Structure 1
């Protein structure tokens, strides 16, 4: 029987389980150049989902660190340039940042930019494939002022 069944649980909220439902964690490691480097990681994310054998569910991607972010967009040179120019207007490199006054690491702007987009993204998948639009890719933007080895954690839930 494949119906949802409540687990025996002493809390007031039932925990639901279903045969075949799993939660798996995968990683993507990527080297970035910093300084607003924008990279398409759609293929790597899809590969991680395919490795699990799950057919239907959601994948949450989370970038570790406070100077990079994740989002989706059409990954093409014009939009990549437009996005870079937008962030320079919103949080310019050469503006005065309290973070810089405290730490003297020159990357106050990168923390602000990353905070505007956020560190995570959740995407449903069906029949083993993410439900992205035709021109929609998953991108990482590394706003830091130096290159870094970045780690993206994927938590894949489904059946």
Structure 2
């Protein structure tokens, strides 16, 4: 198990973790298996999505804002970040990616992304290869 520390820079952003995760998979020396990528946070998520066109990330965040707007939830009276909690719960804290020939089995346009929904802050990402 390897833990990454990621310092986010914005309130909301998507960060491509693919190169770091691929390096961990390569170091593990396992030809076949599964790679688990998990973030132990309630206002961040891990997704597999496109990162070639930066507009996709902007569109994903915009869509989340339209589906789950800020400022209308009971928890907003406590921390003003209820939308981030709900969005994170919908996206989920982790992804599992197959490993084949010692590499992540991702599609041409797929990337492993950390989704920051309440930054900026330091985030932990746990990567396990089995």
Instruction: Say whether the fold is shared (TM-score over 0.5).
Output: yes
Once residues 73 and 65 of structure 1 are traced to their aligned partners in structure 2, the CA distance between those partners, rounded to angstroms, is 20
Determine which structure has greater relative contact order: mean sequence separation of CA pairs < 8 Å that are 6+ residues apart, divided by chain length: 2
Structure 1 gaps, min length 5? 1-24
Normalising by structure 1, we get a TM-score of 0.77
Normalising by structure 2, we get a TM-score of 0.94
Contact 1:26 1:48 in 2 (8 A): yes
- Larger Rg over CA atoms: 1
Which of 32, 42, 46 lines up with 2:22 in the alignment?
Answer: 46
Once residues 62 and 107 of structure 1 are traced to their aligned partners in structure 2, the CA distance between those partners, rounded to angstroms, is 21
1:45 is displaced (CA, Å) by 0.3
Report how many residues are paired: 129
Mapping of 1:90-129 within 5 angstroms?
Answer: 90-94=67-71, 96-101=72-77, 103=78, 105-129=79-103
The residue aligned with 2:62 is 85
The residue aligned with 1:71 is 47
Q: Where is the helix percentage greater, Structure 1 or Structure 2?
A: 2
**Could you say what the CA RMSD is over the residues aligned between the two structures, in angstroms?**
1.1
Contact 1:28 1:45 in 2 (8 A): no
